[in-house]
Amino acid sequence: MSGNRFPNWKATMPTYTNPVLDADWPDPDVIRVGAEYYLVASSFNRVPGLPVLTSRDLVHWRFAGHALTALPPADHYALPRHGSGVWAPSIRHHDGRFVIVYPDPDHGVYVTWATRAAGPWSTPHLLLPGRGIIDPCPLWDDDGRAYLVHGWARSRSGVANRLTVVEVDPGLERIIAEPRTVVDGDEIPGCRTLEGPKLYTRDGWYWIFAPAGGVATGWQYAFRSRDVYGPYEHRVVLEQGGTDVNGPHQGAWVDTADSRHWFVHFQDRGAFGRVVHLQPMTWAADGWPRIGEEIATAPGSGRPVASAEFSPAPAPDGPGLGHSELDHSDLDCSDGFDTPVPRPVWHWQANPHSSWLHSTGDGALRLRVLPEDRGDLRRLGQVLGQRLPGRASTWTTTVRLDGGPPGARAGVVVLGREYAWAGLIRTPAGADVVCRRSDGVGVGVGVGVGVEESRAAALVADGVTAEACVELRVESDDAGAVTFSWRAPGATEWTLLDEPYQATGGHWIGAEIGLFGVAPIGAPAGTDDVAAFGPVTVTGPETHRSR
């Protein structure tokens, strides 16, 4: 048959612009099941953890839910363990079930299952105990055997820059063979920090897609072998290549129902964390993948594209995958607090306790003001936070401090290795409106060191001290410079609280904006002492793509 049956097809193809998720969604892995795509990302110490997103076109994403309601071991993560918790996970669909395999660098590799991406997910099973075992990915072979590839963290194991494959039973319940090193990065000129592997098969080859070079400065390898245990040959298939997309790597190869191929990866943007890019991918005549735009001076390697055409979402198909039943709360940051629990964009800094959340659902969020303040908000598990958007944004809310002993405080914090916050502090006479910053950089793994805070600004206004209620505004620009302002309820003019504060990323994550209420350790705890927050309204350019 001659001629083009769809003469206007090219003209109607939509175009996307990278990043497709312009906020901190670290170490993304993506699969397709039928016409639906599913993405998981690292969540580290934050709970709920293991966010699962869903899309029908790889560009517009929404929440399916979270795979973890608490981090195991529960007692260990009762306190914030910055830089620990869930590192790079992988998601697969096998034998009618979704499976997520994720590493905790201090405990080992866990597995959790669900029949629907929205959950419920099974209690995590410790498949491979051990420190420093990271970034696992399973593969079920055509002969019914199953394998797991993973990397190593030198900080825990003393070993790094190598990839290991181990055979596991098909149910991912136990290890059934000795692990083998299949790629030693020390034997590859220029290779360092080889990690984050994803294992696939295609046309009789075993493929490992793995990044190297470090989070902010690295590149993407592809390895192939006729045998799962090697030997593997390799190529660099994606690098910065003169673009402004630094460290383009670590992600997933995924195909579409219309036989196109894509590579999803991250870019480290400092205070904004690891944002997600989508690259077109093809398979060349020599059998190797081509990702992004080919670099003439580096044959076989590609550089990221800023935009590309993509396939519009097809009509829903395939019953039983849970698509129509998913909680399609979008990724917007605003929250009217009109549901019994905060929207899924929020998370705690540790496994939550039932006493933290006093109530929500009537247009206000109420947090118990508990006597747990050590003077460092990084040590506070009950900070309710969400990702700082990757573009300029303005956040507004109302905070009221109901009760609380002298020294009790409540407000909005921009939290990273350093932090700044604005809000109210209870005084014997009422309450002060303040803005304060941490003094010193927080430590990595663990609960911090209890640094002092500097009193960058302290203001008192008539009427505010009596009501202990103010409106707060937090403005962040495209570079992550943050300013705090306040006004009394009913007022029209905003008062700037301090000079701009430069947001900093956390330990392996971007900066967060959080809500908190807390009292000094040893202070009397009143059951009616709460920090009440009005609806959070976020404005600014598009920060997450959702449909």
Q: Which residues contact 3 (CB under 8 A, 6 or more apart)?
A: none
Q: Which fold has domain 357-539?
A: Jelly Rolls (2.60.120)
pLDDT of res. 258: 86
| Class of domain 15-325 (CATH, top level) | mainly beta
Phi first, then psi: give them for residue 452, nearest 5 degrees.
-80, 160
pLDDT of res. 460: 45
- Give the pLDDT band (50/70/90) at residue 115: very high
Q: Which residue has the tokens 């350019």?
A: 541
- Give the pLDDT band (50/70/90) at residue 142: very high
Same fold, 15-325 and 357-539: no
- Give the pLDDT band (50/70/90) at residue 328: very low
Q: Give me the residues paired with residue 175 across strands.
A: 168
Q: What is the dihedral of CA 33, 37, 43, 49, to 10 degrees?
A: -60
**Whether residue 389 has a cis bond before it, omega within 30° of 0:** no
**Residues with a known catalytic role:** 27, 195
| Lowest-confidence region among 124-128, 182-186, 206-210, 372-376 | 372-376
Nearest alpha carbon to residue 536 among 333, 397, 331: 397
In whole angstroms, what is the distance from residue 329 CA to residue 317 CA? Answer: 21
- Give the pLDDT band (50/70/90) at residue 453: low
Cα dihedral 302, 508, 391, 365 sign? positive
pLDDT of res. 330: 66
Q: Are strands 307-309 and 357-359 parallel, antiparallel or unpaired?
A: unpaired
CB count in 10 Å sphere of residue 507: 19
Judge contact between 424 and 401, C-beta under 8 A: yes
pLDDT one-digit tens code per residue, 337-384? 999 999 999 999 999 999 999 989 999 999 999 999 999 999 999 999
| pTM exceeding the 0.85 threshold for the entire prediction | yes
Domain ranges within the chain, ordered by starting residue: 15-325, 357-539
pLDDT of res. 13: 81
